[in-house]
Amino acid sequence: MPLTKSTVATIDQRAKNDPDFAAAVDAELQAMRIEQELVALRNASGLSQRQLAEKLGVKQPVIAKLEAGKTRNIGLQTLVRAVKAMNGRIEVSITPKGHPGRTGRRRAVASRKAQRRRVVTR
């Protein structure tokens, strides 16, 4: 099913009204970003899926599933190994959930504090 402006508007509206739905949408979008970044990093590294699989000691279909988002709940350790094999780095940041009562300056200050707590692995 194609993603139309109407569908996007419906998703946006539901996300505004339903925090659980908003969290699910955010998690799915984040997973998609990770998959896209892994493919881009592998391509930039000049590695095929098969070559990356050999470096990690797995079979090529494992890499294909990982890049296609068909591997759910991938462990951070696995992700770190894959990224290191491609000479990349991972940045993990922990931020507080948005609180309905928070607005403006308080949210911005909380966001800056959360960004300072970023963890970078190489």
Mean pLDDT of the chain: 80
38: pLDDT strictly greater than 50: yes
pLDDT for 112 equals 47
Query: Residue 1 — very low, low, confident or very high, per pLDDT cuts 50/70/90?
Result: low
> CA-CA distances (angstroms) from residue 52 to 31, 64, 77, 84?
20, 10, 16, 11
Domains observed in the chain: 5-88 (1.10.260.40), 90-122 (no CATH)
Whether the model pTM is above 0.85: no
% of the chain surpassing 90 pLDDT: 32
Each residue of 40-55: pLDDT tens digit?
Answer: 999 999 999 999 999 9
Q: Report the distance separating Cα 58 and Cα 37, nearest Å.
A: 20
Each residue of 50-101: pLDDT tens digit?
Answer: 999 999 999 999 999 989 888 767 778 888 999 999 999 988 878 887 655 4
pLDDT for 74 equals 74
Neighbour-count burial for 20-46, b at 16+ CB within 10 Å, e otherwise: eebeeeeeeeeeeebbeebeebbeebe
Query: Residue 111 — very low, low, confident or very high, per pLDDT cuts 50/70/90?
Result: very low
